């Protein structure tokens, strides 16, 4: 059984942009569903979301307090626990999730940040872009609204029972330059393990970092838990322990999807065989 779930970020999502965000997820599902392995499914889905300016990832990512964009992204597959993460990447790499994949496949490190990650991208031939393509007027208009936080993510189970997760974000509007959130940190903003499932978080990343939230969720699945129950418990824990805000998507070994959030909205969609 194949399962793919995607989200467009937990947050306010006010007015007409809310419907646009909901609708855009179908394209991400289509992109991911055209592949067979869990890893390829989540990478393709997140690449599609990075191309859609309504989401806070890739094109349309948020600006930091200095007025420029820094991307974070993470990728993990649950069979061998390979991980790749990139943080505080200036708007240079066309698809931040591709750079996270390059880090994972290189295998020497789990996380690269800032200028070192940019040099690695050039060395590996990762597609680059003019930084201007990432900037949108909508995000510039939010520069003073520091509460704007939303991350895109995808979780998948393929027909062979393998799991993968991918996440990408511009962080939150007005963050300090050099800030790295939960999205490139395995166990905090994302985690996958074939023994249990996969989870991807979204929201104010500091709470996810403090709780190692996604690792806790996948451990609960490995102990026999259900996706929906684990997702709801995770967001309740985020609220109770650290007064955090956000959401999570989860897929378990049964191919079931769990969704939970404590923000006004979190666009999400899922598909199963």
Residues with active-site annotation: 151
Measured CA to CA in angstroms, residue 50 lies from 13, 54, 66, 94, 257 at distances of: 17, 9, 22, 9, 22
DSSP type of residue 67: S
Token look-up 């300016």 returns 53
Measured CA to CA in angstroms, residue 211 lies from 82, 187, 239 at distances of: 21, 9, 11
Strand pairing class (257-261; 268-272): unpaired
Instruction: Kindly state the tokens that stand for 240.
Output: 């109770």
Nearest Cα neighbor of 64 from 131, 143, 153, 124 is: 143
Query: How many CB atoms lie under 10 A from the CB of residue 147?
Result: 12
Q: What does residue 46 show for φ and ψ, rounded to 5 degrees? A: -70, -35
- Helix/strand number for the chain, H first, E second: 8, 11
Angle at which helices 96-106 and 38-50 cross, to 10°: 150
**Alpha-helix runs per DSSP H in the chain:** 16-33, 38-50, 96-106, 114-124, 137-141, 205-211, 213-222, 227-242
31 near 48, Cβ under 8 Å?
A: yes
């Amino acid at each position: 059984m194949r399962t793919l779930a995607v989200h467009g970020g937990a947050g306010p999502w006010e007015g007409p942009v809310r419907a646009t965000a909901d609708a855009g997820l179908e394209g991400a599902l289509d992109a991911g569903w055209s592949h067979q392995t869990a890893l390829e499914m989540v990478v393709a889905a997140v690449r599609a979301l990075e191309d859609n300016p309504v989401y806070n990832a890739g094109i349309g990512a948020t600006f930091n307090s200095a007025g420029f964009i820094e991307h974070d992204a993470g990728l993990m597959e649950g069979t061998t626990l390979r991980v790749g993460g990139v943080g505080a990447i200036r708007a240079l790499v066309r698809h931040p999730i591709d750079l996270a994949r390059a880090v994972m496949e290189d295998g020497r490190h789990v996380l690269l940040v800032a200028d070192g990650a940019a040099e690695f991208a050039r060395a590996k031939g990762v597609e680059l872009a003019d930084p201007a393509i990432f900037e949108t007027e909508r995000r510039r208009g939010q520069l003073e609204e520091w509460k704007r936080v939303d991350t895109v993510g995808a979780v998948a189970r393929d027909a062979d029972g393998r799991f993968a997760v991918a996440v990408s974000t511009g962080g939150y509007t007005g963050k300090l330059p050099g800030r790295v959130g939960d999205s490139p940190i395995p166990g905090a903003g994302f985690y996958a393990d074939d023994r249990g499932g996969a989870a991807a978080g979204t929201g104010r990343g500091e709470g996810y970092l403090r709780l190692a939230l996604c690792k806790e969720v996948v451990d609960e699945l490995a102990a026999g838990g259900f996706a929906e129950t684990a997702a709801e418990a995770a967001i309740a824990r985020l609220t109770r322990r650290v007064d955090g805000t956000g959401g999570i998507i989860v897929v378990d070994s049964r191919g079931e999807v769990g969704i939970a959030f404590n923000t006004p909205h979190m666009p999400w969609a899922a598909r199963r065989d």
